Structure 1
Amino acid sequence: MNEVAPVILVVSYARISADTARDGHGVEDQHKVNAETAARLGWTIAHRYTDNDLSAAKARVVRPDFEAMVKALKSGHMPDGQPVHGVIVVADDRLTRRAGDYERFVDALTYDEGRVYADAKGPKNLYSEDVESMGLFGVVISKMEVRKMQRRARRSHRSRAERGIPVGGKRPFGWKADKLALEPEEAAWLAKAAREVIGGKSLHSILREWQEAGVRTINDKEWASRSLKLALWNPRLCGWRKHNGELVRDANGIPVVGLWEPIVTPKEWMAIDAVFSARLGPNIKADGTVTDYRTPSYLLTGILRCGKPRGDGQICNAPLRASARPDLSGGYLYQCPSKEMGGCGGTGRNGAKIDEFVTEVVLAKLEERAAKTTLEDASWGGEGELNHLMSKQRKILQAWQADQISDELFFPENQKMEARVKELRADRTRHALRQQRAAEVTGDVRERWNSGQLDLAQKRALTREALHAVIVLPVGGGGRRPFNPDLLVPKWRD
């Protein structure tokens, strides 16, 4: 091309160290390389896209800048109307590490004739089948390398678990910075709470007592019911450890004892585990519907995500929360939490308008794939086996706690029952979800949605059935602006 072509510049980082991100040298150096490349080719930089610290290899990771870039390429212009004719990529292995993303990128770039592309080695013709095939081959090789690294990491974590070595990260509540020695005051609170749970006291009562006494988390925040439950349900309390959701055991099926000091005995923790395990399972109504344990008051709570970039180039990605705002049409606002609450506090949108738009696109998607299969038998066939196993587990646990059976007999037998109970509970949940989909994702879903036949919990379940999340991109420019649905990026489930 002889004309000066506006170019989308993709700066796609996978990982940047805290020091580099703080001083900005990594970003500035790559921007300099990009500017030099554009000048050498006679191209003009229209925009820089940066997905910093967001892995291109993970299917569930949302990369807002990559999605915005593909959208701009497909349309041939930026949101402000500025035309674009190509891309410069800093590191092609950071642009895409999955074949599907690479194909989407190439399809968008070559949507019109005459688009240009360059990477660190220089310009390439992505209209050539050979070049496109080589790029796809590179993505496959990159994915293989990622999988090797993931396997090595998993082996390392497993090895540490089997040797009883504490995991990385912050110290757990109840232990000192070395994660081995007890923090006496915190450990005493945990021990007291553990024995109260075994004695039948509710988490709510324990939580209220902690709040009144000023007991704070290691991040100096108030305890919440969920965080307290997780702390008490953690087998670390008795010196054991879980890996991938399962107790780490030796060849005889007996849990491996860690190097840290325990707070309660194994028998006490097993009693806590029995209390909490008995409460597991979805909140299933008589009609098979799976609902939230506590249904939020607004449709998209926990589904909307803040897409505002941070100073280091990452998006905030915090779940937006809803709050009443009588001054707004509709009366409520979806807003990113403050920095103290884990968000950035910089994104807020009219809740009623977002609900209206997302409802429409979700209903359209559900209508497209309206169920064509007949509703299967509503009853689940595993209820009897599950109840029998849970009763048997309670009896064997009581016998072990009373020293009537040995560790060598109890742990292997209990492990088998735990595995089967887990399978049955998962199957029960899948069955209930199948019932819900077959009953609700039908051709008249719009009529039932709008007529009030579906309650909020059912609407949220259907929304989650269609969407992973909705990224709310920043408006920009300050002040109130008209509602723009283009700034909402749905992330659909397959």
Structure 2
Amino acid sequence: MAPTDGARALIYCRISRDREGAGLGIQRQLEDCTALAESLGLTVVGIHEDNDLSAYSGKPRPGYRQLLDDLRAGRADIVLAWHTDRLHRSPAELEQYIDVCEPRRIDTRTVKAGHLDLSTATGRMIARQLGVQARYEVERMVERQRRARDQMAQKGKHFGGRRPFGWEADGVTTNEFERSLIAEAADAVLAGASLRSIAAGWNARDITTSTGAEWTGPELGSMLRRARNAGIRVHRGQEVGPGEWDPAIPEPKWRSLVAILDDPSRRVTPGNERKYLGSNLYLCGMCGATVRASTAGTGPGKKHWPAYRCRTGRHITRRRDLLDDWVQLAILERLSRPDALDLLAEREDPVDVRAAQAELREARATLDELAKGLGRGELDMRSWTVASAAARARLESAEKTMSHAVKVNPVVGLVGAEDPEAAWKGLDLSRKRAVIAYLMTVTVLPARKGRIPGGGYWDPDAVRIDWK
């Protein structure tokens, strides 16, 4: 249809990436489209916007969907856009747009690409040609970006994006304070601390993420898992070599840290988060199962009290506060002995870190050479597959060895402390549980019935502590 004075127009504006974060690109498009509407004598009845959303990515565009809904409902006669590629860069989306506009004889007017009359075969051909050209330009841009990233990865350079915690905005210059926090958190996790407790501690100290947000356990875990913390560059999900920045923690410690964080037994949900010192840690002396937190009492209407119960049956029930106090007193007594330093002794054979690192370098070099050989045509795909499988197996074996290289003794900080009791009270629950698991096996046995000599009901002989 030919535009006439007073014809109803809808304006659509979109920008793929709002680098300024203020919607200024949208505003410029809107100003140009409004000027076009005035020059054509149109009445603007609605404005739809999609800020920071690509037409190529396939992600939902709420503004564009509302535009189509308004057109289907007959609320406009003309669509105004800055360019056709603001409307769509996907042939499938273009065909959908044509299906909506053609039967309703809806015009499309753009500031830069002129008039598209989708009611004619010529107009639809021009629209499709513009769509193909837009798609081609996007795909070329994506290819250039991928090649540039491949080259940057080969040189170990930073890709840009969100500032990585521990480094400045250039991704290379070290932020010494944040880097010390990464090392602190790594040691805490290796010593048994939970991510939630570390995150809570950082928030209490007003330590924020690189975007200024508060820390959560999952956010902290994602940050600690980054290979960049060990100075390793990752590209397309694969480790490709050393980065150009200094590491925050040594590679052996990082691999040990990731192995602990990825341990399925550490996964915490609202239903299985540890809230008590001995739950799933102390053992039932009758069946060997762990205990769970529960309550106990003497009958209906009587007072109930917190307790530990055997997980598999009613073998043992023990007051939670008395049992926890007994275990903690045993730990403090052990820390006060003259031989407390023996608790810091290594319990396992140390890992040969240098040999594992050399194996990693050799396996990566082999994979690089095989890839070059395949690219030059010196290897066929079958030969490359067989040879690379062996190199990858060496790489995985070395990475597994490195993951066991560093284990922080959870009693460090308690042994030799000026006030062991104060040091113990200063630990969060996850650290206390780690200390118990490291130092002792607590077995809860059936208690004697009735009062124990001395007047109480607590039976110390019904708790067996075996030091490891």
Give the TM interval when normalised to the shorter protein.
Answer: 0.5 to 0.7
Shift, 1:24, TM fit: 8.1
Which residue does 2:246 correspond to in 1?
261
How far apart are the structure 1 equivalents of 2:205 and 2:21? Answer: 38
How far apart are the structure 2 equivalents of 1:48 and 1:104? Answer: 20
Deviation digits for residues 306-358 of structure 1 (CA, Å, limit 9, x no counterpart) = xxxxxxxxxxxxxxxxxxxxxxxxxxxxxxxxxxxxxxxxxxxxxxxxxxxxx
Shift, 1:172, TM fit: 2.2
Which residue does 1:64 correspond to in 2?
62
1:225 aligns with 2:217: yes
How far apart are the structure 1 equivalents of 2:270 and 2:242? Answer: 36
How far apart are the structure 2 equivalents of 1:276 and 1:415? Answer: 26
Deviation digits for residues 116-158 of structure 1 (CA, Å, limit 9, x no counterpart) = 3333454443122232133123212211110110111122122
Which residue does 1:54 correspond to in 2?
53
How far apart are the structure 1 equivalents of 2:15 and 2:214? Answer: 35
Alpha-carbon contact 1:238-1:265 (below 8 Å) kept: yes
Counterpart selection for 1:31 from 33, 38, 45: 33
How far apart are the structure 1 equivalents of 2:193 and 2:363? Answer: 27
Shift, 1:244, TM fit: 2.1
1:192 aligns with 2:184: yes
Counterpart selection for 1:92 from 84, 93, 102: 84
Which residue does 1:401 correspond to in 2?
353
Which residue does 1:304 correspond to in 2?
none
Deviation digits for residues 214-253 of structure 1 (CA, Å, limit 9, x no counterpart) = 43323443211112111211111111121222211xxxxx
Instruction: Determine helix, strand or coil for the equivalent of 1:166.
Output: coil
How far apart are the structure 2 equivalents of 1:65 and 1:418? Answer: 51
How far apart are the structure 2 equivalents of 1:128 and 1:293? Answer: 59
In our comparison, the structure showing a higher alpha carbon Rg is 2
Superposition pairs for residues 79-228 of structure 1, below 5 Å? Answer: 84-112=76-104, 114-120=105-111, 122-228=114-220
How far apart are the structure 2 equivalents of 1:219 and 1:16? Answer: 17
Shift, 1:75, TM fit: 1.6
Of 62-71 and 202-211, more deviation after overlay is shown by: 202-211
1:416 aligns with 2:415: no
Shift, 1:160, TM fit: 1.4
Shift, 1:415, TM fit: 7.1
Query: Aligned AA for 1:259?
Result: E
CA RMSD across the alignment = 3.6
Query: Aligned AA for 1:406?
Result: E
How far apart are the structure 1 equivalents of 2:173 and 2:107? Answer: 60
Query: Aligned AA for 1:271?
Result: S
Query: Aligned AA for 2:55?
Result: A
Query: Aligned AA for 1:150?
Result: V
Alpha-carbon contact 2:13-2:82 (below 8 Å) kept: yes
Alpha-carbon contact 1:20-1:26 (below 8 Å) kept: no
5+ long unaligned stretches in structure 1:
78-83, 249-255, 284-291, 296-397, 422-494
Query: Aligned AA for 1:279?
Result: P
How far apart are the structure 1 equivalents of 2:19 and 2:174? Answer: 32
Counterpart selection for 1:11 from 1, 10, 13: 13
Alpha-carbon contact 2:18-2:25 (below 8 Å) kept: no
Alpha-carbon contact 2:15-2:26 (below 8 Å) kept: no
TM-score (structure 2 length as normaliser): 0.54
Shift, 1:271, TM fit: 1.5
Shift, 1:44, TM fit: 2.8
Q: 1:73 to 1:23 in 2, by over 3 A?
A: closer
Deviation digits for residues 85-129 of structure 1 (CA, Å, limit 9, x no counterpart) = 2323321121110011111111111233x4333334544431222
The number of equivalent residue pairs is: 292
Instruction: Determine helix, strand or coil for the equivalent of 2:264.
Output: coil
Instruction: Determine helix, strand or coil for the equivalent of 1:406.
Output: helix
How far apart are the structure 2 equivalents of 1:406 and 1:224? Answer: 36
Query: Aligned AA for 1:185?
Result: F
Alpha-carbon contact 1:12-1:91 (below 8 Å) kept: no
Alpha-carbon contact 1:34-1:90 (below 8 Å) kept: no
Alpha-carbon contact 1:400-1:406 (below 8 Å) kept: no
How far apart are the structure 2 equivalents of 1:118 and 1:213? Answer: 56
TM-score (structure 1 length as normaliser): 0.51
Query: Aligned AA for 1:196?
Result: A
Q: 1:155 to 1:59 in 2, by over 3 A?
A: same
Query: Aligned AA for 1:209?
Result: G
How far apart are the structure 2 equivalents of 1:75 and 1:172? Answer: 47
How far apart are the structure 2 equivalents of 1:410 and 1:17? Answer: 40
How far apart are the structure 2 equivalents of 1:18 and 1:37? Answer: 30
Q: 1:181 to 1:138 in 2, by over 3 A?
A: closer
Query: Aligned AA for 2:79?
Result: V
1:237 aligns with 2:229: yes
1:270 aligns with 2:246: no
How far apart are the structure 2 equivalents of 1:202 and 1:139? Answer: 52
Alpha-carbon contact 2:160-2:171 (below 8 Å) kept: no
5+ long unaligned stretches in structure 2:
272-349, 368-388, 398-468
How far apart are the structure 1 equivalents of 2:115 and 2:98? Answer: 15
Query: Aligned AA for 1:73?
Result: L
Q: 1:123 to 1:240 in 2, by over 3 A?
A: closer
1:74 aligns with 2:66: no
How far apart are the structure 1 equivalents of 2:269 and 2:127? Answer: 47
Alpha-carbon contact 1:400-1:407 (below 8 Å) kept: no
Shift, 1:279, TM fit: 3.2
